[in-house]
């Protein structure tokens, strides 16, 4: 069937492979007869291997598991390799009368007494030349004996079959006929040749049928074949696919047209059948998928492995008893987890499984036992999946609510849930809980971490956690010791005694039904003197189990390393040094392991391996070349337990089971250039270099000339389908490019490839993407890679808010890196081009960035982190341990590992807002003060509370609470201060040292401790500085601060070295106070919220409003350090400097993302990095633009009487306009080249943009009426100026002239309402639309003095805009309602309400130039696009900052943001939106709803018809139409 095999290899297999890949499956063909000699194919060992592989396929395949190609040959019948003693004696009795036959059989079989019961083992059959006839003679002799024994009833029918069945019947019997439940993915393709019997004796025909040794037709074989076909047709007719061919002298020849049609039909039928079986199986799995099926499967998996591991357990009774005693003693009080450690292979896994089995008896009470053998299943390979599965199992076992979805979304929440769950179980005071986690070394995240944050340092009563870990060079045990520091938590697992070692070997032999002769047993013990290492004992057993009783084995290795070398040498002798070196080399070189299908593909690409394989025979095909699968299966069988199967990403991968073997493989096969070659071949495979028909040259020994052959390896695209990513390529390719030294390809294919970045991010999440950059970027000396990595780090808030999807990632990358596209074209420029290409081909409506507008990498902001905290109120840095301690509004203290950027402890206990935290004791302890009037002392390494101090006295809520802390480690005292008292507490005993009570009505604002002078300082609201003894609390003196007038102090910080104090004031002043007096240091635009200094006091940070300003100290005072302030989205509450003053971390009350506050990490060394032009410095949101966004206008920071003109291209201030009064609003007439500035005095100043002369002044209608807002008509013919309840309308005469004239006011009208105007718009015909602060909306016709009330919003109207044709208007309000108005009918056309759980409200809106779309900026820092035609939400984009104004362009819009960047985007909307994706698909808890007036009126009309008994069809139609307009997504 060579032609059929090649046809399937060439066309059918690749098709099915592609189909499988699209469904996330791996396709593997196991054809053990392909590519080998006939003698190997019929070898008795091959038959056993075929049947073993068949069993493996049936267990693992999800679809087709067995395919038989059946023609007109029954095939050879192999000689049985083993005959049991009883059967042997029966056969021998039948041959006793034929001494020659008996001698022949006795010559080829030898008695092995090491099997239980004893067997007779077939010996090697002669040389290659004599093998065939000799085997045929032996077969016929055994058949005769079996036939006679069967007639006498001495053997069973099944025993008789062993001598008469061919290989193919054995396979069909096992793969199909013996099945009891369906066909289990089996298919039999039957080739029938017409008129074969007429030509049966012709020479050409005899090649197609069975022949005897003399060349004659084997009629017995033909009869057996006919019976086999009949059995298949009778028992499994559905699997039989028959093909009928006309007789031909050239067998099956693809050149023959009829044969070619047959081969094509065979391939198509195979593809259809295989794909159908796969789909059917997938559908069955989906239909039968029960809730939590994954959990039950996980539990069963570990229980099954546990039973296997304890089957040969022996010894350890003393250790088991000690562990049981420890569990019993600690069951009723808090205790540390238990860690069992020892070298690899010492027997920890078997011990853990035995413990799981015996725990209920050891504790003597009802127990819930949870066992995980880590690294053996998909859910136990990484910490997030592991914790989730444990939490689900505990909840089910105790009848508790399962973890909610919002908890499962973030790993830190899962950790917190896990810790809380342990305490919940403990408090139930019912069953004890024992969790056993074996081999924590195999959890991926622990290898890269400094700590194990999910590991509780203390277990509550009735909860026990037992772990096992390897000691040695891996470092995992050291990582665990960073969390569990109690030495009594660690118990060493020591080797077995010599007697126990012998007992273990005996148990293993008994379990495998083997024994050893006395001499062999003596040799075994002599090779292993005093050996009690279970791993080495098992290796020795694996070797000894192969010994037959009639052989004298060589001595075994005495050490594990020697045993591994001995194993490799034996494998090389059997399979060839080259094949063993390459197979083991590829497995060890892989990052996570390789699948069998991948390994066979990789060996098919290795020319040296193929040249060695085809040294004595030529491959069966002239078009393709593959590695023969049989050679791999033989080697795999001999490797046995040395190979581990690990589930990774849904696939089963092969890895080396023993660390010692992996080290020996590296030493023997991966030294010098060999390592790079192995990685290079793996890189070529995962790149897909030789896939999809690309041929590879090779010269085979027997051919002598180069052949260009297709290797038929699996294609390696990044995406197999729209939803299935090539996870194997994503994880393996960069690793192999790096280790093969192909750095340039690593940059091009991975780190600088937008397709790869997108695929990795979407399929694995932002953390996986950043992990890859952290892993590979340090090896690539490239500044651009660093910029890409920082840009991805800055993407985090958008990803956490919107979910990881391609449009978000492409937008973030392009909008951050576009700044560098020209200056760094090699990598960043290419990424930007790739992103632009993706946007051009995007089939959905999308906003396309035309330039950079998000905070770029290389700036001060490094990353924004969110966690399990709401409203950050206090921070402290543990410099030594690199921990950040964060206090929050909800009373939580979170401890972050800043290297790993993850929460390691959630410290609970406070019931009120945490006001202050201080770290001391070399960064290992912290103390926190809260509004609940308690101080709590924490151990930061263990996460345990040491003690609590009640610092409140009275529980009167009006009494002040603690708001600052100072720790004096030398005196072991902590000072807690509030507005009315200072308390000193002993840090060791928690006893009160003294109180200082305020004796006046002047409350204290800040307190400090001057350690060098043993002095306490307090500053009061009345600017009084008081000095107190820090030892006794007695007053030492008072001083009035005279330097700052008309301001009250708000905060202060002490600078210890010069003995100075820096104090912030209510109007932005910062004063430096010393013994000589006080002086003004700086004037900030707003009240100073906090002041902090760095550890070495060289840097000072001042928080005011949403900003933080950094100062640098010199010998006398502090000077401004950075040109720009650090900007935030909400009020900044606290800050702390990082180690070496290279970082500052700031925390604000911003709760946009996931309702948990974020904190920002800023780089204070960013000045040395690539810079982009500076953002414009606007904090008011009162921005205007001219010259298509080239110039930005905004009030000056700290002086709102001036308007800054900012040159965007140069990134600098071009000029400043003096308005002599505070600016309230700005408008630009682009055509007239005029800037209108509305002032708090009521005046509107008009500045020509092209000159600084001829400023026009428009006076207010009434004195002291501030301008609220202004608006220009679309043609700039008129201007509306709105005050509280008055609107002026003025003409702009000849707006396109160089000197336009402002005329008017033409009209003035009063609203006659008690509420004020909040927004206004004006039309060319002098109609004015104005919205009020209470949500009312009106249209006023100035020419007729008529007012038309429009339907009101529910809250303040924030914006009103008119379409360019002035037929429509849009209004937005604070409750996130957008209304589209028909100005002719004075009615709303569409209402769109857009809400989410964290932020509401519309900030601004405008129409596109063609009036087809509305662009709106929302207060949740996103921009939406809304269809004017049907009210559909088309696109949404998170831009990280509030947008205050949107101005349409020809194909999109420009919009300035509060971060100081100009958004410039194109809106791309395909003509057909039939397949439009939901823009809110991944948006967390966002809801939008559209109401159409037309549809509501139709629905109302339909309802009327229904009342009269008419119009049902119309009502149904309207109802469905209305339903299609409403989309709720939660």
Please write the tens of the pLDDT for every residue from 107-161. 889 999 999 999 999 887 654 445 556 667 888 889 889 999 999 889 898 888 8
pLDDT at 1524 over 50: no
pLDDT tens, position by position, 752-777: 999 999 999 999 888 889 989 988 98
Report the C-alpha gap between 1276 and 1297 in whole angstroms.
12
Nearest to 1018 by CA among 1039, 992, 1044: 1039
pLDDT at 353 over 90: yes
Query: What percent of the chain lies above the pLDDT cut of 70?
Result: 92
pLDDT at 1509 over 60: no
Mean pLDDT score, 1379-1386: 91
**pLDDT on residue 1475:** 47
Angle ∠(832,834,840) on CA atoms, nearest 5: 105
**Tokens linked to 928:** 């926190």
Q: How confident is the model at residue 576 (pLDDT cuts 50, 70, 90)?
A: very high
- Any bridge partners for residue 1490, and if so which? 1392
Specify the pairing of strand 490-492 against strand 338-342.
Answer: parallel
DSSP state of 174: I
* Buried residues in 1454-1466 as b, exposed as e (16+ CB within 10 A): bbbbbbbbbbbbe
Q: How confident is the model at residue 373 (pLDDT cuts 50, 70, 90)?
A: very high
- Any bridge partners for residue 966, and if so which? 975
- Any bridge partners for residue 806, and if so which? none
- Which of 115-124, 406-415, 961-970 is most confident? 115-124
**pLDDT on residue 1477:** 63
Cβ-Cβ contacts under 8 Å for 1485 (sequence gap 6 or more): 1396, 1397, 1398, 1530
Mean pLDDT score, 364-385: 87
Report the C-alpha gap between 1493 and 1478 in whole angstroms.
23
pLDDT at 1521 over 50: no
**pLDDT on residue 1146:** 93
Asked if 171 and 49 count as a contact pair (C-beta separation under 8 A), the reply is no
Hey, what's the torsion of the CAs at 1146, 1148, 1151, 1152, to 10 degrees?
-60
**pLDDT on residue 1508:** 44
List phi, psi (to 5°) of 1095: -55, -40
**Tokens linked to 853:** 């507008």
Asked if 66 and 175 count as a contact pair (C-beta separation under 8 A), the reply is yes
Distances (CA, A) of 612 to 129, 575, 576, 598, 632: 22, 11, 9, 20, 14
Asked if 1002 and 1016 count as a contact pair (C-beta separation under 8 A), the reply is no
Nearest to 467 by CA among 419, 435, 420: 435
Report the C-alpha gap between 408 and 403 in whole angstroms.
7
**pLDDT on residue 1526:** 32
DSSP state of 1041: -
Specify the pairing of strand 463-470 against strand 432-438.
Answer: parallel
pLDDT at 1091 over 90: yes
Report the C-alpha gap between 541 and 537 in whole angstroms.
6
Where does 428-559 have alpha helices with state H? 444-448, 476-483, 498-511, 518-527, 534-544
Give the up-direction half-sphere exposure of residue 568: CA atoms within 13 A in the CB hemisphere: 24
**Tokens linked to 924:** 């290992």
Asked if 593 and 648 count as a contact pair (C-beta separation under 8 A), the reply is yes
**pLDDT on residue 40:** 60
**pLDDT on residue 1397:** 56
Give the residue with greater pLDDT, 1307 vs 1395. Answer: 1307
Q: Average pLDDT, whole number, for the chain?
A: 86
Give the up-direction half-sphere exposure of residue 465: CA atoms within 13 A in the CB hemisphere: 21
Where does 383-436 have alpha helices with state H? 383-398, 405-408, 411-427
Angle ∠(741,743,744) on CA atoms, nearest 5: 135
- Which of 172-186, 464-478, 1230-1244 is most confident? 1230-1244
List phi, psi (to 5°) of 1370: -130, 140
Mean pLDDT score, 362-368: 82
Measured in residues, the chain has a length of 1530
**Tokens linked to 441:** 């070394």
**Tokens linked to 1310:** 């009063």
pLDDT at 1520 over 80: no
**pLDDT on residue 817:** 94
Q: How confident is the model at residue 387 (pLDDT cuts 50, 70, 90)?
A: very high
* Buried residues in 425-445 as b, exposed as e (16+ CB within 10 A): bbeeeebbbbbbbbbbbbbeb
pLDDT tens, position by position, 834-880: 999 999 999 899 999 999 999 898 888 888 887 666 788 899 998 88
pLDDT tens, position by position, 1346-1358: 999 998 888 999 9
Render 876-914 in DSSP notation, one character per residue. Answer: EEETTTTEEEEEETTS-EEEEETTTTEEEEEE----S-E
Asked if 1292 and 1276 count as a contact pair (C-beta separation under 8 A), the reply is yes
pLDDT at 52 over 90: no
Mean pLDDT score, 418-440: 89
pLDDT at 886 over 60: yes
Report the C-alpha gap between 777 and 788 in whole angstroms.
10
Which long-range contacts link 389-392 to residues 24+ away (Cβ below 8 Å)?
389/295, 389/298, 390/418, 390/435, 391/417, 391/418, 391/421, 392/292, 392/295
Q: How confident is the model at residue 1458 (pLDDT cuts 50, 70, 90)?
A: confident
- Any bridge partners for residue 1246, and if so which? 1236, 1256
Where does 1315-1373 have alpha helices with state H? none
Q: How confident is the model at residue 41 (pLDDT cuts 50, 70, 90)?
A: low
**pLDDT on residue 1518:** 31
Q: How confident is the model at residue 220 (pLDDT cuts 50, 70, 90)?
A: confident
Lookup result for tokens 């009209």? 1307
| 552-556, 974-978, 1012-1016, 1206-1210, range with the lowest pLDDT | 1012-1016
Strand, helix or coil for residue 415:
helix
CA 1528 to chain centre: 27
H/E element holding 771?
A: helix 766-776
Report the C-alpha gap between 1257 and 1237 in whole angstroms.
10
**Tokens linked to 133:** 């006839």
**pLDDT on residue 829:** 94
H/E element holding 679?
A: helix 673-687
Mean pLDDT score, 25-50: 76
Q: How many helices (H) and strands (E) does the chain have?
A: 40, 73
Tell me if the bond preceding 1305 is cis, omega within 30° of 0.
yes
Nearest to 331 by CA among 401, 434, 254, 223: 434
Strand, helix or coil for residue 966:
strand
Sheet strand arrangement including 109-112? 82-84, 119-122, 109-112
Question: Considering the entire predicted model, what is its pTM?
Answer: 0.87
Q: Strand (E) positions, 704-854?
A: 706-710, 846-849
pLDDT at 1504 over 50: yes
H/E element holding 1214?
A: strand 1212-1218
Mean pLDDT score, 1020-1042: 83
DSSP state of 600: H
pLDDT at 1512 over 50: no
Strand, helix or coil for residue 27:
coil
Asked if 110 and 548 count as a contact pair (C-beta separation under 8 A), the reply is yes
């Amino acid at each position: 069937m060579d032609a059929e095999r090649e046809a399937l290899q060439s066309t059918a297999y690749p098709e099915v492979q592609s189909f499988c890949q699209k469904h996330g499956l791996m396709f593997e063909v196991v054809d053990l007869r392909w590519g080998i000699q006939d003698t190997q194919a019929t070898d008795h060992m091959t038959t056993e291997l075929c049947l073993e592989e068949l069993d493996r396929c049936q267990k693992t395949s999800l679809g087709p598991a067995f395919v038989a190609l059946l023609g007109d040959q029954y095939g050879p019948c192999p000689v049985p390799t083993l005959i049991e003693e009883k059967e042997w004696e029966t056969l021998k009795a039948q041959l006793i009368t034929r001494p020659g036959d008996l001698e022949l059989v006795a010559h080829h079989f030898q008695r092995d007494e090491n099997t239980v019961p004893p067997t007779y083992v077939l010996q090697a059959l002669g040389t290659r030349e004599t093998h065939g006839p000799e085997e045929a003679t032996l077969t016929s002799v055994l058949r005769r004996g079996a036939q006679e024994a069967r007639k006498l009833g001495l053997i069973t029918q099944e025993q008789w079959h062993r001598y008469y069945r061919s290989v193919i019947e054995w396979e069909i019997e096992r793969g199909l006929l013996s099945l009891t439940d369906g066909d289990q993915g089996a298919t039999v393709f039957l080739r029938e040749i017409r008129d074969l019997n007429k030509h049966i004796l012709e020479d050409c025909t005899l090649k197609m049928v069975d022949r005897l040794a003399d060349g004659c037709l084997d009629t017995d074989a033909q009869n057996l074949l006919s019976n086999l076909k009949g059995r298949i047709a009778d028992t499994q007719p559905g699997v039989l696919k028959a093909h009928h061919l006309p007789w031909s002298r050239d067998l099956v020849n693809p050149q023959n047209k009829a044969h070619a049609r047959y081969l094509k039909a065979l391939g198509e039928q195979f593809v259809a059948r295989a794909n159908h079986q796969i789909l059917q199986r997938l559908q069955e799995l989906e239909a039968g998928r029960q809730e939590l099926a994954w959990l039950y499967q996980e539990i069963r998996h570990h229980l099954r492995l546990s039973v296997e591991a304890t089957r040969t357990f022996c010894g350890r009774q003393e250790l088991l008893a000690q562990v049981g005693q420890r569990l019993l003693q600690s069951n009723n009080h808090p205790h540390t987890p238990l860690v069992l450690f020892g070298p690899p292979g010492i027997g920890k896994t078997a011990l853990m499984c035995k413990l799981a089995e015996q725990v209920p008896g050891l504790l003597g009470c009802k127990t819930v036992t949870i066992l995980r053998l880590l690294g053996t299943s998909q859910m136990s390979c990484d910490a997030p999946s592991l914790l989730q599965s444990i939490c689900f199992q505990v909840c089910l076992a105790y009848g508790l609510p399962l973890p909610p979805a919002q908890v499962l979304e973030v790993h830190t929440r899962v950790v917190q849930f896990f810790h809380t769950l342990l305490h919940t179980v403990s408090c139930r005071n019912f069953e004890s809980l024992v969790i056993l986690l074996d081999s924590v070394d195999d959890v991926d995240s622990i290898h890269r971490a400094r700590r194990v944050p999910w590991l509780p340092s203390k277990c509550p009563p009735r909860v026990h956690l037992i772990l096992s870990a390897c000691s040695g060079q891996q470092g995992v045990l050291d990582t665990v010791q960073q969390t569990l520091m109690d030495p009594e938590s660690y118990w060493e697992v020591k080797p077995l005694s010599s007697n126990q070692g012998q007992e273990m070997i005996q148990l293993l032999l008994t379990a495998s039904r083997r024994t050893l002769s006395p001499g062999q047993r003596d040799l075994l013990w002599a090779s292993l003197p005093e050996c009690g290492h279970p791993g080495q004992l098992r290796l020795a057993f694996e070797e000894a189990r192969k010994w037959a009783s009639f052989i004298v084995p060589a001595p075994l290795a005495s050490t594990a390393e020697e045993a591994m070398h001995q194993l490799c040498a034996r494998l090389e002798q059997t399979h060839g040094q080259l094949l063993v070196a390459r197979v083991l080399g590829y497995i060890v070189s892989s990052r996570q392991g390789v699948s069998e299908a991948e390994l066979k593909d990789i060996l098919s690409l290795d020319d040296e391996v193929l040249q060695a394989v085809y040294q004595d025979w030529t491959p069966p095909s002239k078009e393709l070349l593959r590695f023969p699968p049989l050679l791999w299966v033989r080697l795999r069988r001999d490797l046995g337990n040395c190979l581990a199967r690990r589930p990774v990403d849904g696939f089963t991968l092969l890895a080396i089971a023993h660390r010692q073997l992996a080290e020996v493989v590296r030493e023997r096969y991966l030294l010098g250039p060999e390592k790079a070659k192995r990685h290079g071949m793996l890189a070529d495979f995962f790149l897909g270099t030789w896939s999809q028909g690309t041929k590879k040259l090779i010269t085979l020994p027997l051919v002598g000339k180069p052949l260009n052959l297709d290797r038929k390896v699996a294609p390696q695209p990044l995406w197999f389908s729209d939803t299935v990513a090539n996870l194997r390529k994503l994880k393996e390719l960069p690793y192999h490019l790096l280790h093969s030294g192909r750095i340039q390809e690593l940059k091009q294919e991975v780190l600088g490839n937008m397709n790869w970045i997108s695929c990795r991010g979407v399929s694995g999440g932002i953390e996986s993407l950043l992990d890859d950059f952290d892993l590979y970027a340090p090896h690539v000396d490239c500044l651009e890679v660093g910029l890409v990595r920082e840009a991805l780090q800055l993407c985090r808030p958008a990803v956490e808010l919107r979910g990881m999807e391609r449009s978000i990632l492409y937008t973030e990358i392009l909008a951050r890196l576009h700044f560098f596209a020209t200056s760094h074209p090699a990598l960043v420029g290419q990424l930007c081009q790739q992103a632009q290409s993706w946007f051009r081909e995007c089939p959905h409506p999308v906003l396309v960035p035309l330039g950079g507008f998000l905070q770029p990498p290389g700036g001060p902001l490094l990353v924004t982190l969110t966690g399990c905290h709401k409203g950050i109120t206090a921070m402290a840095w543990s410099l030594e341990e690199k921990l950040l301690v964060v206090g929050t509004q909800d009373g939580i203290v979170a401890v972050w590992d800043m290297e790993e950027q993850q929460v390691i402890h959630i410290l609970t206990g406070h019931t009120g807002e945490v006001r202050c935290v201080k770290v001391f004791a070399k960064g290992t302890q912290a103390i926190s003060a809260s509004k609940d009037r308690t101080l709590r002392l924490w151990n930061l390494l263990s996460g345990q509370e040491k003690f609590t101090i009640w610092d409140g006295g009275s529980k009167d809520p009006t009494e002040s609470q603690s708001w600052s802390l100072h720790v004096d480690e030398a005196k072991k005292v902590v000072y807690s201060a509030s507005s009315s008292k200072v308390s000193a507490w002993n840090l060791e005993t928690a006893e009160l040292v003294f109180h200082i009570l305020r004796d006046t009505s002047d409350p204290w604002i800040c307190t400090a401790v001057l350690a060098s002078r043993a002095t306490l300082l307090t500053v009061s609201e009345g600017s009084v500085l008081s000095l107190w003894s820090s030892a006794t609390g007695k007053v030492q003196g008072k001083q009035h601060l005279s330097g700052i007038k008309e301001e009250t102090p708000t905060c202060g910080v002490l600078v210890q070295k010069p003995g100075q104090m820096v104090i912030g004031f209510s109007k932005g002043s910062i004063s430096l106070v010393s013994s000589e007096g006080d002086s003004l240091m700086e004037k900030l635009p707003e009240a100073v919220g906090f002041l902090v200094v760095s550890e070495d006091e060289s840097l000072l940070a001042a928080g005011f409003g949403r900003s933080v300003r950094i100062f640098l100290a010199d010998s006398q005072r502090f000077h401004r350090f950075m040109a720009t302030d650090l900007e935030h989205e909400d009020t900044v509450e606290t800050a702390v400097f990082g180690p070496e003053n290279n970082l500052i971390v700031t925390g604000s009350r911003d709760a946009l993302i996931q309702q948990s506050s974020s904190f920002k990490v800023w780089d204070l060394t960013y000045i040395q990095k690539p810079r982009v032009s500076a953002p414009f410095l606007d904090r008011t949101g009162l921005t205007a633009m001219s010259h298509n966004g080239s110039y930005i206008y905004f009030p000056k920071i700290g002086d709102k009487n001036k308007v800054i003109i900012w040159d965007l291209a140069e990134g600098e201030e071009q000029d400043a306009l003096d308005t002599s009064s505070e600016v309230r609003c700005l408008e630009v007439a682009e055509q007239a080249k005029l800037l209108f500035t509305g002032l708090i005095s009521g005046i509107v100043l008009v500045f020509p943009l092209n000159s600084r002369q001829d400023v026009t002044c428009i006076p207010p209608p009434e004195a002291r009426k501030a301008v609220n807002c202004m608006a220009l008509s679309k043609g700039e013919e008129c201007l509306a100026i709105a005050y509280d309840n008055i609107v002026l309308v003025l003409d702009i005469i000849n707006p396109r002239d160089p000197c336009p004239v402002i005329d008017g006011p033409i009209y003035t009208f009063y609203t006659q309402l008690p509420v004020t105007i909040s927004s206004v718009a004006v039309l060319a015909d002098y109609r004015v639309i104005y919205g009020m602060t209470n949500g009312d909306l009106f249209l006023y016709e100035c020419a007729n003095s008529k007012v038309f009330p429009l339907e009101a919003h529910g809250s303040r109207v924030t914006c009103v805009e008119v379409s360019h044709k002035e037929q429509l208007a849009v209004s937005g309000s604070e409750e996130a309602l957008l209304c589209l108005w028909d100005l002719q009918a004075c009615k709303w056309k569409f209402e769109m309400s857009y809400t989410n759980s964290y932020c509401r409200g519309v900030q601004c809106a405008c129409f596109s130039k063609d009036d087809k779309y509305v662009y709106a900026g929302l207060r949740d820092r996103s921009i939406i696009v809304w269809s004017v035609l049907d009210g559909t939400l088309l696109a949404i984009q998170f831009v990280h900052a509030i947008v205050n104004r949107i101005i349409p362009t020809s194909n999109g819009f420009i919009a300035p943001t509060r971060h100081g960047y100009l958004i410039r985007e194109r809106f791309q909307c395909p003509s057909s939106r039939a397949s439009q994706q939901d823009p809110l698909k991944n948006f967390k808890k966002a809801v939008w709803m559209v109401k159409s007036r037309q549809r509501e009126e139709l629905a109302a009309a339909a309802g009327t018809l229904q009342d009269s008994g008419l119009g049902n069809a119309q009502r149904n139609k309207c109802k469905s139409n209305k339903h299609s307009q409403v989309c709720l997504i939660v």
